[in-house]
Structures are given as structure tokens and as C-alpha cells.
Amino acid sequence: MLKKYIIHQLLILLLLCLTTGGLFGQNISVTKIEPPNWWVGMKWNTVQLMVYGENLQGISAKFSDSRITVREVHRVANPAYAFIDIAIPDDLPPGNYPLQLQRGDETLTVDYPLLARESGGLRHQGFSPADVVYLITPDRFANGDPANDMVPEMGDTLDRAHHYRRHGGDIQGIIDRLDYLQDLGITAIWINPLVENRMRRQSYHGYAATDFYRIDPRFGTNELYKTLVEEAHRRGLKIIVDHVSNHCGSGHPWLANPPVPGWFNDQGAENPEITHHYKYSFSDPHADSASIANTTRGWFVRYMPDLNQTNPFMHNYIIQNTIWWMEYSGLDGIREDTYPYADQQFLADWAAAVRAEYPGTNIVGEIWEYDPPIMAYSQANSKFPRPFDSNLPCVTDFAFGGAFHQYLAEDAKLNVFYKILAQDFLYADPYNLLTFGDNHDMPRLMFLANGDAEKVKLALALLLTTRGIPQIYYGTEIGMVGGKDHGSLRKDFPGGFPGDERDAFTAAGRTDQENDIFNYLRELLHLRKQHSAFADGKLTHFPPRDGAYVYFRNGKDERLMVAINNHPKAQELPWHHYTHAAPGAKLLRNLRNGETVTLGSDAKITVTGRQAAIFEVLER
């Protein structure tokens, strides 16, 4: 009898727990909702709320304002999460709207903000060949707020003597240097990720997110990030966010308690599969499906868990997170990290959703391969057969970047650039490529050139005058050298940190060689701004001969001619080699010194040894 009584009482207690949630701490609780708010008047107006808390299993949901419809509360087994689909009418007034979560007789009400969209101003401008992008690794650029250098609960302490620890650079440091970048002639800034990286080590780079909706407190705050975008826009500068769909950091709370099965690839495996980088498999007509699966489902590295974008909840989460940051801060464009490693159908859907919301924006996908066909395959409207369009307008031109490596480090001739550009027929839009000689993953130009500043200046001239959207890595303007490994090539910018012996952000703090490179690059950048053919000009080039590479940029309103002389001695270039590229031309005006050359069948153009000459082609 006693045994039956105990069982009976336990059943009653269980029934009470299930129906009321009121015993043994079983009350509904909410700790966070993502996205933390939305906006009225968005095209993406059916939002999936990811609710974090306790005892969320079996809940129902509704808004106290019936104009907001709860379309579905998805049933998931994990009581720490709920996914709620809501529909927001376009004519809804902005405000805080109470969301009621109910289970049995218990109701929990939380306010959900629906904001008015900001209008006017320079928001979501995109980036184009009219721009020059300046890439910043924020931890190594400038420390504007030493008070946030140490945040004990975040791990990974400050140690500037260690290549792979935090050095203290932050958002305020970037804001403080916007005038410097504006004066240099930069028009757009790409910043390595700034979201929270609560990791024990190597968190400085930002690619191991542990909270996708929060700026890392060692960099600043969400509000300060928005201020950065606004201050940049006020100076005519654009901001490009470095976005990661492929993975998060191993310190993310999801890893200890995944919301649903299949949230990660190889979820729960003691030794998850690591990618073998089979990036050719997407375009390879002979590839087996296992090669493709390994690329998109294998983990990038062990401390960066691979997100499963084919999971419908993850699919929505990433798209909404991207749109949220665009709308919240007014960002102008996106650089998508590790593009080939995420599910390709998802990335096509993601890019389409972002560009539907912000038609003027641009997205560049990082595809680290040196063969043009591999990159061309992933660009929107590809000429190659694909099962679906990528919707990705811009790709990183690693093939062109590889030519810089050959030219600077291996003493290759200028033909390496010519051969890469001669393959532009592969691309749907060869002008919408991000071009560069170095970046945060590659040795710096000056390191590759073994300190040869004149050769680096030639490389910069070529980068800034051919087709594409040129990108300059922070410190390139002063000839920073660095080393081969990530820690040393991402060195601190001298003068950006308290206690630095000199300030290379100023002419007085730079060496003579640094000022020479800085002034040279500044001159080129301002020439780009003044002459539209660098942005809209069709490229016509000639096979290099005798160390000289000549090409034209034929724009809507002007024609420019560039002559790169890689030979140590001055050369006289016969004009008759190029007359058919500029019919009717009567005069060349050197944009750097104002000198002119009268053209005729016997005219010769003198180009100093190891120099780049840039001419405006005039018809009278």
C-alpha cells in the first residue's frame, strides 16, 4: 500500500509540474531573445525569434497587440530554447510590444522592441571600383580606450609582447584615426570581426564568435560601433563588416548546450571531421559528393565549431543576424569570410535576402584560391554551369594577389599580371573583384620585396590603376614589414598604442622611407579620386615588352594611360605601338608632374627607371 501511495503522489507531482510549471523551480524564464529587436517597414518582416531561458518546452506565445501575428511556436526538445515565428505588419507603429509566453496557468510577459527605421544619411552605400578599401585588424591598429584593455571574465589577457595575445586596439582607436584615413585618400574601411570572442586564447583576430549580437567589450560596445559607422560616413568613408557564416568559437554557449540536433556539423563528435579544403570540388564536373560535403561540413579548425547552415533554424538565424547589423549600424557592405566552407545553397539564399533588403550594397566572398576559374565560378551570373546562382556580386581576386607574390618575392616579370588579367573573360564582372597584394593572412608587400621600397611602390601603382576594387592592408602606407606567421604580419601600428616610442600616424613620427611610401601612396589615392576612369574605365592592356607594361583605362569622360617601367633604366616607349588604343589622341599630360608629350607617329614616351607614369590622354 505504501508503495502505491508513493507512486500515486509522484504522479500527482509530475502532473502538477507539467501543467503549472510551478514546482521545483520549473517556472518559465527568459534570459535573452535574438534578434534583440526588429524594425517596422522591413522586407524581412516575418522574424524568427530565438528565445533563451529555462523551461520553455511546450509554451504558447502571443502578443498583447493582435496586429502582430505569432505564426508558429516550433516544438524543440531542449527546454532552454524556443523558436517563435512572428509577422510584423508594415503599418505598425514603432514601440515596445509585450510578448506573452504561456504554459498551463503560468504566463510570462517580456517586451519586444519594434523600432522605426532610420532614413536619410549615407547608409548602406555599397562599395565599388570607385573605392579603395583599407583593411584593419583592430586589435593591432590603435588603442583609443585603455580602460577596456582588460576584461577579466572574457579570458585571453593583454600582452603586447606576445604575437597571439590581445594588444588593446579598439573601436575608439579607429574613430580617432578616421581623419588620418580620410587625408590618406581611403574611401572604405574593412575591419576584421568585432563581435564577442570569449576564448581562452587567440581571440584577438575576432573570427571565433561567442555572441553574434554583441561587440566584444575589449573593442567597445554596440553603440560605439554604430558611432564609428556614423563618424566614418560624416567623413565620406564607408564601413564593410567582416562576417562569418561558417563557424563560431568553441567558447560559444551553444557548444555546451546546442539548441537543437544538427545545430553544428558533426555535433557532439569527440573528433569532428576537419575540412580538407577541397574548394575545387564545387566546379569540378568529376567531383564526388563526399569531397563537396567535406568542404562544407568539415570544421575549419578544432576551436571553431562548424555551423550547419542547412538546419532551418540556423539558416534563419544567420540571415537575420546579418540584416540586424546592417540595419542597426547603417553598414555599407559585407566581406564574407571562408566563403567556400559554408553550405553554398544557404549562401545564395543569404546573399539574396541581404541584397533584397539593401539593393545598393555589395558583398565580397573570400575564396582563397589562385586560379581564376575557381573564383569566377562563385561570382553571381557565372558563365560556368551551376545548379543555382550564387547571388554573390564580388569575389576576392587571390589570383591577382598571387601575382604580386611572384613579382615581389620571386622576382617574376610583369607578365604575371598580364596573364592574370588576360583571363578576365572567365568572370561575369571582372571589375567587381577585390584586388590586393597583401592582407591579414598573407605576408606584407615589404616583407615579400625584402625591403625594396621602390619595387613596392611599383606594385602599389599597378594595384591602384588596373581594374577591380583595390584593398590596402593597414600599415602598407608606411611600408610595415612584419613576417610570415599571422602574429608577426599583424604587427601593431607604431603610434597607435600608449607608450609607443614614435607615432607613425604623423609625418614627424615616420622615418624618411616611411614618409616616402606614405606620400607616394597618398598621391596615387587622391589621383584615383580625381579621375573617374580609374573607377569606370574599361581596361585595354598590351603584352609587356622590355620590362614595360602599358595599359589604358577608357572611361565615360576621360582616357588614361599607365606605363609601368620595371627596368632599372629609363625607357622610351614608341607611341606608334599604342596609337590604335587611343584614336585621335594629340597630347599626353603626366598626372604626377604636369609635363606633356605631343603625340605623332614618331613620338616617344620617356618613363624613368622603376617608375609608373600616369597620363591623361587628350584629343586637343
Closest Cα partner for 346 from 391, 397, 383? 391
Whether 106 is a known active-site residue: answer no
d(CA 322, CA 333): 11
d(CA 154, CA 218): 9
d(CA 192, CA 322): 15
Gyration radius of the chain's alpha carbons: 28
d(CA 339, CA 147): 35
Long-range Cβ pairs for the range 58-63 (8 Å, 24+): 58/18, 58/103, 59/28, 59/101, 59/102, 59/103, 60/101, 60/102, 60/103, 61/99, 61/100, 61/101, 61/102, 62/99, 62/100, 62/102, 63/97, 63/98, 63/99, 63/100, 63/112
Tell me the CA end-to-end span of the chain in Å, nearest whole number: 113
Indicate the burial class of 572 (C-beta count within 10 angstroms; 0-12, 13-18, 19 or more).
exposed
In three-state secondary structure terms, 583 is: coil
- Bridge partners of 551, per DSSP, are 541, 562
Q: Name the grid cell of 396.
A: 576576392
Q: H-type helices in 243-378, by residue range?
A: 253-256, 289-297, 312-329, 344-357, 372-378
d(CA 390, CA 372): 16
Catalytic residue among 366, 438, 477, 492: 366
Q: What angle do CA 426, 432, 435 make, to 5 degrees?
A: 90
Whether 337 is a known active-site residue: answer yes
d(CA 192, CA 189): 10
Task: Report residue 156: phi and psi, to 5°.
Answer: 50, 80
Task: Report residue 521: phi and psi, to 5°.
Answer: -65, -40
Task: Report residue 36: phi and psi, to 5°.
Answer: -70, -15
Count the helix, strand and coil residues of the chain and give each as a percent rounded to the nearest 5.
30, 25, 45
The answer to whether the CB of 137 falls within 8 A of the CB of 180 is no
Catalytic residue among 156, 337, 343, 369: 337
Concatenating the DSSP letter of every residue in 96-138 gives: EEEEEEEETTEEEEEEEEEEPPP-SSS-S----TT--EEEE-G
Q: Name the grid cell of 1.
A: 500500500
Cβ neighbors of 601 (< 8 A, separation 6 or more) are 575, 576, 579
E strand or H helix at 551: strand 548-554
d(CA 243, CA 362): 13
Residue in this structure with the C-alpha cell 520549473, named with its chain if needed: 26
Q: Looking at the annotation, which residues are catalytic? A: 337, 366
